[in-house]
Amino acid sequence: MFDAEKFIEEAVEELSRRIKGKAVIGISGGVDSTTAAILVHRAIGENLRCVLVDTGYMRKNEIENNEKMLTKLGLSVLVIDAKERFYEKLKGAVDPEQKRKIIGELFIRVFEEVAAKENVKFFVQGTIAPDWIESGGGLRDRIKSHHNVGGLPEKIEFEIVEPLRDLYKDEVRVIGCKLGLPPEIYERQPFPGPGLAVRILGEANPESVKIAREACAIVEEEIEKAVKNSEMSRPWQYFAVLLPCKTVGVHGDVRVYGAVVAVRAVESLDGMSAAYSKIPHDVLERISVRITNALKDEVSRVVFDITNKPPGTIEYE
Amino acid sequence: MSRPVKVYVVDNGGQWTHRIWRVLREIGCETKIIPNTTPVGEIDADALVLSGGAPRIAWESPKLGCCTDYLDHFHGPILGVCVGLQLLAVHFGGQAGPSEVPEYGLSRLKVIEGDDLFRGLPKEFLVWESHNDEVKTVPNFTVLAMSENCRIQAVKHFEKPLYGVQFHPEVNNTEHGEEIYRNFVNVIKSR
């Protein structure tokens, strides 16, 4: 049986032994990286520097909110605005693996710059089991290169530390809870490292990010409202994806030709298998109406994804 | 046996190899994942689970390393999952190859023989699948379960403590999956 308290005790001991001097952690404010940060903070205290990269692919208000929340937890947070660098590097990139690799490499370069400036030799990541399993290697096929594993460049200037490597999301949540994180963090739905860039099929440019960001916000708001009103239970993960195709519609007797947004929501324990969420039609309808109205100039159709994992993956790229 | 049962997971490169490890740990086994190239003489386990993996049974069986050695020379029970089942069938004179209708994700399992692996479980339940290949014939084994699109979903050897499943009991979405592993552990304990 998984013993969270024993895990915490052993992890903190191991981290204090292994990390000499200062360390930098790549943090997003999600369950995994925040839990890893608290563990390392327990081990080395003020010697931990948390770097929150604004890739330009985070959700609505996410950077501001997460910076506040992480600072409140007693962590020393450095926000780096790398939006323009990410947009520039991803220009023209449409292949999902190419996008993930570009993002993985750019993340590391940003962290290396911080590490060099602060003379840090250790770099912590909140990598969990599905990240390295799905990234493949040896006999295992590559399903997708997670930015923190398969997306890493070959040459890296520091030693990588991954205290949660053998755990799944549900186990990390238990640890996060035991470490005293607030439920808003340890119950937070997963969000991929490459962010909205993998929820935009095709080129992830500033214009398409705006659409995906707004659509994701609407899906989150409507589902959370419905959960609050006891219309449904909260899915494991729920979001919108901007598809790379257009369809015809009609607005006030005038033809429109706009993009398609897919709504995805799944039930899972660990992300390694999933069933699509049976969301009530009333809730789906509210999502559809809001997206097609709020994004009327961009989106003319909303579809609901009914694929399990396997054969689909949870995210689209 | 008073000490925990030692069940090792032989890694054939599956997406769910680590899930098998987790389920075994959760039901109280002492467990670890070992490469499928580990010499049989170095394995000090009571039983083995051969994981699934991407290798195609008809033309990539060398990628399954020493698995056939385990089938011949390992002293304890073995459970083959997915390609592990397919290897069991082929090694003991059966046939396996591309599925007529591959199954991915949800499928309904129909239990034919409720002994051993399916003890105490319903006659039908939902399981998670992910296979391009399937077992076509399996002499020397009893077929324990089937699904609509795959006739051989679970088998048991006539004499040896060898079992195989085509579906994935280690996947959280599979109903009664943990109980199937518990039943396998009971087989180990009863020896």
Per-residue pLDDT tens over the stretch B29-85: 999 999 999 999 999 999 999 999 999 999 998 999 999 999 999 999 999 999 999
Do residues B161 and B191 lie in contact, with contact meaning Cβ atoms separated by under 8 Å?
Answer: yes
What domain count does chain B have? Answer: 1
How far is the alpha carbon of A165 from chain B, nearest alpha carbon, in Å? 11
How far is the alpha carbon of A252 from chain B, nearest alpha carbon, in Å? 42
Residue A285 is predicted with a pLDDT of 98
Distant-in-sequence contacts of A132-140, Cβ < 8 A, 24+ apart: A132/A165, A133/A272, A133/B15, A133/B17, A133/B18, A134/A313, A134/B15, A138/B13, A139/B11, A139/B12, A139/B13, A139/B36, A139/B53, A139/B54, A139/B55, A139/B63, A140/B13, A140/B14, A140/B15, A140/B17, A140/B53, A140/B54
pLDDT over 80 at A153, yes or no: no
pLDDT over 90 at A83, yes or no: yes
Share above pLDDT 70 across residues of chain A, in percent, rounded to a whole number: 100
What pTM was estimated for this model as a whole? 0.93
What average pLDDT does this structure show over A62-78? 97
Closest by alpha carbon to A192, among A264, A255, A120?
A264
CATH number at residue B160: 3.40.50.880
Quick one: closest CA in A to B4, which residue?
A1
The answer to the question of residue B1 being in a domain is: no
pLDDT over 80 at B151, yes or no: yes
Domain residues for the domain of B16 are 7-189
DSSP assignment, residue A52?
E
Cα A264 to chain centroid, rounded: 15
Confidence tier at A267 by pLDDT (50, 70, 90): very high
Q: What is the mean pLDDT of chain B?
A: 96
The answer to the question of residue B2 being in a domain is: no
pLDDT over 60 at B1, yes or no: no
Cα A81–Cα A85–Cα A88 angle in degrees, nearest 5? 145
Do residues A145 and A104 lie in contact, with contact meaning Cβ atoms separated by under 8 Å?
Answer: yes
> Which H or E run contains A303?
strand A299-304
Instruction: Answer whether the bond into residue A244 is a cis peptide, omega within 30°.
Output: no
- For the stretch A192-234, pLDDT in tens is 999 999 999 999 999 999 999 999 999 999 999 999 999 999 9
Residue B106 near chain A (CB below 8 Å): yes
Lowest mean per-residue pLDDT among A134-138, A185-189, B106-110, B133-137: A134-138
Task: List Cβ neighbours of A155 (8 Å cut-off, separation of 6 or more).
Answer: none
> Which H or E run contains A210?
helix A206-228
Closest by alpha carbon to B17, among A132, A13, A54, A274?
A132
How far is the alpha carbon of B158 from chain A, nearest alpha carbon, in Å? 32
- For the stretch A106-123, pLDDT in tens is 999 999 999 889 889 999
Residue A138 is predicted with a pLDDT of 87
- Please identify which residue in the block is written with the tokens 């969301």: A279
Residue ranges of domains in chain A, CATH in brackets:
4-186 (3.40.50.620), 199-304 (3.30.300.10)
Share above pLDDT 90 across residues of chain A, in percent, rounded to a whole number: 93
Contact B25 A2 (CB under 8 A): yes
Do residues A43 and A30 lie in contact, with contact meaning Cβ atoms separated by under 8 Å?
Answer: no
Distances in whole angstroms, Cα of residue A236 to Cα of each of A53, A254, A264, A273, A312: 25, 39, 11, 11, 16
Contact A308 B106 (CB under 8 A): yes
- For the stretch A85-102, pLDDT in tens is 999 999 999 999 999 999
pLDDT over 80 at A151, yes or no: no
Q: Which residues of B are catalytic?
A: 82, 168, 170
Residue A252 is predicted with a pLDDT of 93
Helix, coil or strand: residue B33: strand
Which residues make beta-bridge pairs with A256?
A249
Confidence tier at A154 by pLDDT (50, 70, 90): confident
The answer to the question of residue B76 being in a domain is: yes
Residue B115 is predicted with a pLDDT of 84
What average pLDDT does this structure show over B113-124? 95
Quick one: closest CA in A to B27, which residue?
A1
